[in-house]
Structure 1
Amino acid sequence: MDDLKFGSRNKRGDWAPAARLELPPFWRKPFSLPKVLAWIPEYLWPWNAFHMATALAWWVFVVPDVEVMRTLGWGWALWLYAVNAAAIFVFYGAVELFWYVKKKQGTRFKYNGKFPAEQPSDVFWFKSQNIDNFLRSFFVSIPLWTLVQVLFLHAFAAGYVPWLSWSDNWLWLGVLTLISPAIHEVHFFLIHRLIHVPILYKWVHSVHHNSVNPSPWSSLSMHPVEAFLYHAVAFWHLVIPSNPIVALFQLHVAGFGAVNGHIGFDKLELTEDRALDSHAYAHYLHHKYFEVNYGGDGLIPLDKWFGYWHDGSKEGEARMNARFQKKKARMNAKSGA
């Protein structure tokens, strides 16, 4: 595919889409019902459908019997960790293998024209972003993902929280499933903005931001505090009347869905004329500029409401720079005082 039909490339080889990021159509004015209806299939397919499919697969083939989960134990916890780790290795690893190792589409649609393997740095373990990100994912984030999973499954199984049945509560649970990605966006925005507070950024979030040029293995490369807070989104289903399958879906939106913002490519070419939209650009801009787009794609447009939204346009960059100048002026005023 010719990526220059969809965007432009600068002298450094970095590619950017021509179309600016847009909020979902129900937030745009004037309201257009046809646009909202056209957006629904995109919302469901393929990413959210994939996360639901994996949640159902876990429930049927991986999650232990309720009697087992009523008691906390290393056996079933380690089993869940092994499956989670294997799944991420296969899923993230496939993207890494084809698009970063074999480079099947070169740098077409790639935001940053360089690959992490070409940029060794002392900020990473063994001076390698790939090794550092891989080790942090499998020995920090995925264990904490599993801890969250074990805790909420145990809470449901032991009767500490209501376990709503699908037969009696199918409408509510259906709605809750559909809005789970929105719950993720709100939770992610809140914890993400929190760990950008200077002291927390220095000691916690800077680990993730070392990957200025993110790749699939960067997705779950986090400090333990961030990793726990990020996956703790599933705990909302211990507060909201829910069902463990919906909580699993919520967890998978976070765990498997983290790769979307870190793929590094706007489109993944599947054939010569078909490509899969990654929805990576909003979060790539966050990695590039640090203080924009703390949430996701604007499903709940908190970034827009709080003035952090960057849509990739020159106007968006001007708004960002104006905000940076105001922040700099405030800091200078405080230091002068």
Structure 2
Amino acid sequence: MSDAPKPSEHSAPMSREWHYHPELPVKYAPYWGLPPKVKVLARWIFQNWLQFSDRSIFLMLAFVVAFWLQPVASDQGVISVEWIIWVFLRNWGLLLVVAGGLHFWFYGIDGQGKLLKYDPRPYMKRKNALYKFGYQTWDNMYYSMVFGASILSTLECFLRWMYGSGLINTLSFWAHPVWFILLFPLLALWQSFHFYVVHLFLHQPFIYRHVHAVHHRNVNTGPWSGMSMHPVEATGYLSAILIVLVLPSHPVHMLFLGYWLMLGAASSHSGYEAIWARDRQALLLGAFFHQLHHRYYECNYGNAEMPWDKWFGSFHDGSEEATAATRARKRRMHAR
């Protein structure tokens, strides 16, 4: 655990639109800084991959499943309800624990009030006809469990069958240790590119209206908002996992990417910078980059792993100047 500033301790002036935000302007992962700052990059890698974070938790979980709970073996080269049902049950259970646990802490027992909460408005708990079943949480849980976790489980079963039947080779750590390790951050970069391309497509007017609008019902997000997607969107988003069909990999890489996509969506949509307990930052969740997208829509289509939005002119760095520019851009888009 590490110390983190409380809102009242924030050194920079707070934007009037937010209850809390990290230090502005929002920055990308330091892979792309020129000239490279080795110390900054090493610290970022340590904090995100080796320290206690949502990313490192998903990484450890992937190893536990891949090498202990349900390793891929030759028997999975044969379609069988016996092993398939465990994949579905585990993914439903993991999403229930992660999204449900975060929701319970932040919005159930109000574990830290508004401390480190981005949006000053309370999470929607009142009945609203916008949502299926009338409530935001119920709507989000329905789409997340029925479509999100189920679609990921289907893709995982397909890939387990491919590994098990020998149609794609399993990469051994002992044979290729450097590639085995490097593939984890490379998969995170791949996910960033894939997400940007898919997300940009989802914002085309016709697709947005009939598909992506389901996800954007969540302006003030919560953990269950992350995988609350129309099944077409969920399929496109989760299809990033299919990269292992062409990249030499081990099932642990496939599982990490799957958990990063599904469980990471829950943590990154929590609406908070971190879990704060016993006057300390217990777990960093921060995804203010994407929170800006949910507030202003036509910006930050990618994530902070790669600067796609900066390169293509849709970057919102959290400043009021960027808000004005994004709103002007949105007006021009609607006018066209």
Is structure 2 residue 249 aligned with structure 1 residue 270? no
Is structure 2 residue 39 aligned with structure 1 residue 34? yes
Identical positions, percent? 27
Q: Which residue of 1 aligns with 2:48?
A: 43
Is structure 2 residue 26 aligned with structure 1 residue 21? yes
Is structure 2 residue 322 aligned with structure 1 residue 316? yes
In 2, the alpha carbon distance for the partners of 1:109 and 1:38 equals: 22
Q: Which residue of 1 aligns with 2:7?
A: 3
Alpha carbons 2:226, 2:265 under 8 Å: kept: yes
In 2, the alpha carbon distance for the partners of 1:59 and 1:276 equals: 24
Instruction: Pick one of 49, 56, 61 that aligns with 1:54.
Output: 61
Alpha carbons 1:8, 1:17 under 8 Å: kept: no
Q: Do the aligned partners of residues 48 and 278 (structure 1) sit closer, same or farther apart at CA in structure 2, a change above 3 Å counting?
A: closer
1:215-266: CA deviation from partner (whole Å, max 9, x where unpaired): 0111111111111122211110111122211111111111111123201012
Q: Do the aligned partners of residues 325 and 224 (structure 1) sit closer, same or farther apart at CA in structure 2, a change above 3 Å counting?
A: closer
Q: Which residue of 2 aligns with 1:142?
A: 149
Helix, strand or coil for the counterpart of 2:283? strand
Q: Which residue of 1 aligns with 2:78?
A: 71
In 2, the alpha carbon distance for the partners of 1:75 and 1:42 equals: 39
Alpha carbons 1:64, 1:76 under 8 Å: kept: no
In 2, the alpha carbon distance for the partners of 1:104 and 1:95 equals: 10
Alpha carbons 1:205, 1:222 under 8 Å: kept: yes
Letter in 2 for 1:240: L
Alpha carbons 1:270, 1:276 under 8 Å: kept: no
In 2, the alpha carbon distance for the partners of 1:114 and 1:326 equals: 28
1:170-319 to structure 2, matched below 5 A, reads 170-297=177-304, 299-319=305-325
Helix, strand or coil for the counterpart of 1:269? strand
Instruction: Give 1:9 deviation, angstroms.
Output: 7.1
Q: Which residue of 1 aligns with 2:109?
A: 102
1:264-297: CA deviation from partner (whole Å, max 9, x where unpaired): 0123212214353322211111111111111111
Unaligned runs of 5+ in 2: none
Q: Do the aligned partners of residues 167 and 285 (structure 1) sit closer, same or farther apart at CA in structure 2, a change above 3 Å counting?
A: same
In 1, the alpha carbon distance for the partners of 2:192 and 2:285 equals: 17
In 2, the alpha carbon distance for the partners of 1:30 and 1:169 equals: 30
Q: Do the aligned partners of residues 9 and 34 (structure 1) sit closer, same or farther apart at CA in structure 2, a change above 3 Å counting?
A: closer
Alpha carbons 1:100, 1:115 under 8 Å: kept: no
In 1, the alpha carbon distance for the partners of 2:123 and 2:134 equals: 11
Q: Which residue of 2 aligns with 1:163?
A: 170
In 1, the alpha carbon distance for the partners of 2:294 and 2:9 equals: 25
Q: Do the aligned partners of residues 310 and 9 (structure 1) sit closer, same or farther apart at CA in structure 2, a change above 3 Å counting?
A: closer
Helix, strand or coil for the counterpart of 1:295? coil
Instruction: Give 1:102 deviation, angstroms.
Output: 0.7
1:138-164: CA deviation from partner (whole Å, max 9, x where unpaired): 111111010010011111111112222
Alpha carbons 1:137, 1:220 under 8 Å: kept: yes
In 2, the alpha carbon distance for the partners of 1:242 and 1:30 equals: 32
Instruction: Point out which structure has higher relative CO (alpha carbons under 8 A, 6+ apart).
Output: 2
Letter in 2 for 1:85: W
Helix, strand or coil for the counterpart of 1:274? strand
Instruction: Give 1:18 deviation, angstroms.
Output: 4.7
Alpha carbons 2:112, 2:277 under 8 Å: kept: no
Instruction: Give 1:302 deviation, angstroms.
Output: 0.7
Instruction: Give 1:124 deviation, angstroms.
Output: 0.6
Alpha carbons 1:209, 1:287 under 8 Å: kept: yes
Letter in 1 for 2:215: H
Helix, strand or coil for the counterpart of 1:309? coil
Alpha carbons 2:183, 2:253 under 8 Å: kept: yes
Instruction: Pick one of 113, 121, 130 that aligns with 1:114.
Output: 121
For normalisation by structure 1, the TM-score amounts to 0.90
In 1, the alpha carbon distance for the partners of 2:190 and 2:162 equals: 20
Q: Do the aligned partners of residues 316 and 76 (structure 1) sit closer, same or farther apart at CA in structure 2, a change above 3 Å counting?
A: same
Helix, strand or coil for the counterpart of 1:168? coil
In 2, the alpha carbon distance for the partners of 1:296 and 1:252 equals: 16
In 2, the alpha carbon distance for the partners of 1:300 and 1:284 equals: 16
Alpha carbons 2:189, 2:306 under 8 Å: kept: yes
How many aligned residue pairs are there? 328
Q: Do the aligned partners of residues 79 and 274 (structure 1) sit closer, same or farther apart at CA in structure 2, a change above 3 Å counting?
A: closer
